[in-house]
Structure 1
Amino acid sequence: RIAAAGSLRQLDPKVAASRQLDLFVYGLADAEALGIASHSEALDYLQALGFKVNPERRRCANIDEVIAFVSEWHDKRPQLPYEIDGIVIKVDSFAQQRALGATAKSPRWAIAYKFPAEEVVTTLIGIEVNVGRTGVVTPTAILEPVRVAGTTVQRATLHNEDFIREKDIRIGDAVIIKKAGDIIPEVVGVVVDRRDGDETPFAMPTHCPECESELVRLEGEVALRCLNPNCPAQLRERLIHFASRAAMNIEGLGEKVVTQLFNAGLVRDVADLYCLTKEQLVGLERMGEKSAANLLAAIEASKQNSLERLLFGLGIRYVGAKAAQLLAEHFETMERLERATKEELMAVPEIGEKMADAITAFFAQPEATELLQELRAYGVNMAYKGPKRSAEAPADSAFAGKTVVLTGKLASMSRNEAKEQIERLGGRVTGSVSRSTDLVIAGEDAGSKLEKAQQLGIEIWDEPRFLQEINRGKR
């Protein structure tokens, strides 16, 4: 995949052509607009047009046929002229796909069955302990290099202290290695029969290898953590995360440059990036005037990023890129998000209690308040710049910019149809009533949501009023 992506980015098309790339087409955008009702029909249509689609695909009528297909290709996998790590099983009907929907990370109408990974044996030379940006201390196996699933592996994850103890993994052991999902190397177990008595048991450190703070295990967690917020390893990893492509996307500020800046004492937190000078940068190894100017320009450009990138870059626990996008769209400014209550956060689709607790805890820290004040002073944007759902709504839409909750049963349409109508007219539908809710649509047998809306004094419409506004929006 990485080789293919790199080939496509070649500036010289002759170089890209020389790589002999090929592909199977797996989907057709807006297929239903062409009268196509299912995924299998869309693939047949693409094939008829001359596109290359996978000839081994199969439409199965029931789960028994799916299991038989998986079993068949488990045995025939080596016969393919390309590598696969499993089979994707999809609901065929587009209508059923819509009904099933998707989570923040994946569709509910498709699942990947992974074949058992290739396993090889090599020697565990040592165990290295690393500290991540959240303070989690992770043991990593240092291995005698070995070929597995197409690449040479020298390091593999050992997860945590409990994993090492349960598997009785010792330095010097012959260990079994596989790639989880054919991607991430991990130690599966030990070949006990090959022990000769020279193997050494491993014990996790009691203190952080970077700052020497005492390591703790929080209740309900298996990982050891360094709780020192000024731990050099955590500070360094936070800077790397902040500058990463999915976060603030500061080109030229990779791991090596961050480490140089940190070791030189030029940066301690992400705000320090915005007061770097060319004179400071040109003193670093392999950093000339042009490179320094380019890096400063990239840092300056990052100030204009939309709010979701900054949110993700701050490294709030449990807040990934998707959650950051949802939060930025909903609250629109950092100030509104900082003031949001737990209930208001949970009113955002896909933001659960655990994440809401983490967000409120982050903004309650004096250090977070101070950091955001510094970033504001340096001119870092704190507002959402993406498209708003109400952008295409009629100017006089009663739903534009409003957060709406549906409760009870509507006689005229399904819940999903009502949601689509509200979003078409610029509103946002959430699943629970809170102080941030602007409007509640109450159908038959409305229950606790209606009661809560009444208690909070939120505007409530019945179905006739709802239909009236929907029809008015169509004109």
Structure 2
Amino acid sequence: MTEPEAGRRLRQLAKEIAHHNRLYHDQDAPEISDADYDALVRENNELEAAFPHLVRPDSPNAQVGAAPSSALAKVAHARPMLSLENAFSGDDVRDFVRRVRRFLSLAEDEPVALTAEPKIDGLSASLRYENGHLVLAATRGDGTIGEDVTPNVRTIADIPQTLANAPAILEVRGEVYMSKADFAALNARQAEAGAKVFANPRNAAAGSLRQKDPAITAARPLRFLMHGWGEVSEPLGQTQMEAVDRLRALGFPVDERVVRCADVEEALAHYARIEHERADLPFDIDGVVYKLDRLDWQERLGFVGRAPRWAIAHKFPAEKAETTLERIEIQVGRTGKLTPIGRLTPVGVGGVIVSNVTLHNRDEIGRLGLREGDRVRIQRAGDVIPQVVENLTPDEPRPAFVYPDHCPACGSEAVAEEGEVDIRCTGGLVCPAQRLERLKHFVSRGAMDIDGLGEKSIVEFAELGWIEKPSDIFRLSAHRAELLGREGWKEKSVDALLAAIEARKGFDSARLLFGLGIRHVGIVTARDLLKCFGTIDALQAAATGDNGTAELSAVEGVGPVVAEAVHDFFHEAHNREEVAALLDLARPAPFVNQARDTAWSGKTIVFTGSLETMSRDEAKAQAERLGARAAGSVSAKTDLVVAGPGAGSKLKKAEELGVRVVTEAEWANIVAEA
């Protein structure tokens, strides 16, 4: 793959993976299988490894979960709830251990013990205890902000309400789940009552925990298994296993298959035993999690992107089944992308009935030779909707599927940009599918998060001509009297909606920037841009200046593709007019950088020469934990150079520029004092 091709594919993968994260974590409604999702993540990681200079600011490795629901109160985690990197083979796990050795500069004969535990397919939750009392329970959310589910968690019998002899502050983390037997019994009761039947135990557990009414949660058979911790006021032990044993002694349920393994081969043998027992376990699992046993090593390893360096999830292979592809339908997204959706004859896979699959794009349909009526093999690994892995009837006489060259929503021409596989509608704002999707995106949880303004209301207001662009949302109060006269709208609901809109005035400017729907600008990229420019006005001024693209490209984490997209957006007069209207009506607050506040926050540090007490990766991680940026070259903007033996041209340049230079020992003192 050429570099331009890799850049385009990384862009596509970032958007596609973010879309599936929202469906899985926020809506409990995935549309692809775990295996399909894992394949996308693995492809992204392989490309990032091959082209490290193309790593995007909205890389999936910088994301965790999805923005929390607006239906429940939001709460900030004292320590982020991150996700795990995945391994798919024994060699992947061995590579993980080799990376640990390299980072910590361990000798080859130094023992590296691991803990191994089943990876429960449930909903992650954090339980906070203060002075032995449960005071807060929250979902993972986006890893930083979760949903407050304290009243609901108090109904789960597995979770202790009070603790004896516990640290003054203790956050315990684990999975809320539903056993297979309880899930089957719940669905039988739901069907008998004519109520919703759940697709799988994970969805049932997630939906039950996130209820507004704790009485509904209490009526559901939820369970809890502990697998880790967050903030603690005192050490829980010197090893992962010691800490697990202490938490078990405090009354938290721990699965009996959590064990300490002396080395990687012993851990892989335990994985094989669990995989053999998988079908007979009382709950769904999708792999085994390995964690470095020594907690001091975990501390040194720290985190990279969205995941710890000291843990990895070894996933199980996908489950397969055969069915018929009855229809291929085309959906139009907010960016105009035409996505093919396969409608299947419902089939059971691993205890779940599935009937839909995304077919990704025109090339994927062509690669598999898919036609309506084909017999296909699908695979699933924990989610509702699987992937098609094989066409079983490619030679049967049947009409080929003709991919549309015009948008099914507006009739505009549908084309692929040069070098891209996605087909997009060229209708833009004249396309009702795009206009509505753009508006839905603007008010979505990840963007402006306007409670009560859902898809149905957006469609209604658009048909009435009240909203055509995002700024019209902040003018809806002018239609209050008309809205009161419409079916389904009462004074209380109208005032609640208008209050929710009013509450978003002065909101997060990064959310508003993301909500504009600029191609390639996710929430992480929006934050990176505003970290540099502070306000959307300043960003626009930079984008429309004589050196706009170059100035944007110079922003940490923003490459030429993103810079060009932002530049193009702000050079359109109608976009500038809309942004001006939004800034006038919504008045977003200037962006505030949430990085750790130290004397080194925002500084640029360069490491050069040989480091003798730590690896280069560990040194860079230390800088990042101080809120600094670890750069690869020295410039006038460099604030500090850490020089070890053998430092050459970078040290010379630092001296020429008058940049402060310290030794590795002096750097260790800086880290200790920060």
User: How far 1:344 moved relative to its partner?
Assistant: 6.0
Pick from 442, 447, 451: which aligns with 1:247? Answer: 447
Matched with 1:207 is 406
- Could you give the per-residue CA deviations for residues 230-260 of structure 1, whole angstroms, max 9, x where no partner exists? 2322221121111111221111122222222
1:264 aligns with 2:464: yes
1:306 aligns with 2:508: yes
Matched with 1:273 is 473
Tell me: higher relative CO, structure 1 or 2? Use CA pairs within 8 A at least 6 residues apart.
Answer: 2
- Take 1:345 and 1:109, find their aligned partners in 2: how far apart are those partners? 35
User: How far 1:128 moved relative to its partner?
Assistant: 0.8
- Take 2:308 and 2:562, find their aligned partners in 1: how far apart are those partners? 21
Pick from 281, 284, 291: which aligns with 2:493? Answer: 291
Q: Could you tell me which amino acid in structure 2 is paired with residue 143 of structure 1?
A: L
Matched with 2:363 is 162
Cα–Cα, structure 1 residues 302 and 91, in superposed 2: closer, same or farther, change >3 Å? same
Q: Please give the secondary structure, in 2, of the residue aligned with 1:311.
A: helix
- Could you give the per-residue CA deviations for residues 352-398 of structure 1, whole angstroms, max 9, x where no partner exists? 554455444444444432221111121330512564644xx5xxx5x
Cα–Cα, structure 1 residues 389 and 100, in superposed 2: closer, same or farther, change >3 Å? closer
Q: Please give the secondary structure, in 2, of the residue aligned with 1:70.
A: helix
Cα–Cα, structure 1 residues 429 and 184, in superposed 2: closer, same or farther, change >3 Å? same
- Take 2:633 and 2:487, find their aligned partners in 1: how far apart are those partners? 56
Cα–Cα, structure 1 residues 441 and 110, in superposed 2: closer, same or farther, change >3 Å? same
1:55 aligns with 2:231: no
Cα–Cα, structure 1 residues 179 and 453, in superposed 2: closer, same or farther, change >3 Å? farther
Task: Report sequence identity in percent.
Answer: 39
User: How far 1:61 moved relative to its partner?
Assistant: 3.5
Pick from 572, 582, 600: which aligns with 1:375? Answer: 582
Q: Could you tell me which amino acid in structure 2 is paired with residue 373 of structure 1?
A: A
Cα–Cα, structure 1 residues 113 and 203, in superposed 2: closer, same or farther, change >3 Å? farther
User: How far 1:77 moved relative to its partner?
Assistant: 0.6
- Could you give the per-residue CA deviations for residues 291-310 of structure 1, whole angstroms, max 9, x where no partner exists? 22221211111122212222
Q: What is the RMSD of the two structures over their aligned residues, measured on CA atoms?
A: 3.9
CA contact (8 A) 2:339 2:359 kept: yes
User: How far 1:40 moved relative to its partner?
Assistant: 3.0
Matched with 2:116 is none
Q: Please give the secondary structure, in 2, of the residue aligned with 1:223.
A: coil
CA contact (8 A) 1:349 1:430 kept: no
Cα–Cα, structure 1 residues 314 and 159, in superposed 2: closer, same or farther, change >3 Å? same
Pick from 208, 215, 220: which aligns with 2:419? Answer: 220
Q: Unaligned regions of 5+ residues in structure 1, if any? A: none
- Could you give the per-residue CA deviations for residues 119-142 of structure 1, whole angstroms, max 9, x where no partner exists? 233322211111112222111112
Matched with 2:432 is 232
CA contact (8 A) 1:120 1:176 kept: yes
- Could you give the per-residue CA deviations for residues 82-126 of structure 1, whole angstroms, max 9, x where no partner exists? 111222233334444455444434334433333233323332221
Q: Could you tell me which amino acid in structure 2 is paired with residue 429 of structure 1?
A: R
Matched with 1:332 is 534
Q: Please give the secondary structure, in 1, of the residue aligned with 2:340.
A: strand
Equivalent residue runs for 1:4-43 within 5 Å: 4-10=205-211, 13-30=214-231, 33-34=234-235, 36-43=237-244
- Could you give the per-residue CA deviations for residues 383-426 of structure 1, whole angstroms, max 9, x where no partner exists? 12564644xx5xxx5x5x643232425989867568757965xx
CA contact (8 A) 1:128 1:141 kept: yes
Cα–Cα, structure 1 residues 412 and 346, in superposed 2: closer, same or farther, change >3 Å? farther
CA contact (8 A) 1:407 1:446 kept: no
Pick from 192, 198, 201: which aligns with 2:393? Answer: 192
TM-score, length-scaled by structure 1:
0.82
Q: Please give the secondary structure, in 1, of the residue aligned with 2:496.
A: helix
CA contact (8 A) 1:31 1:42 kept: no
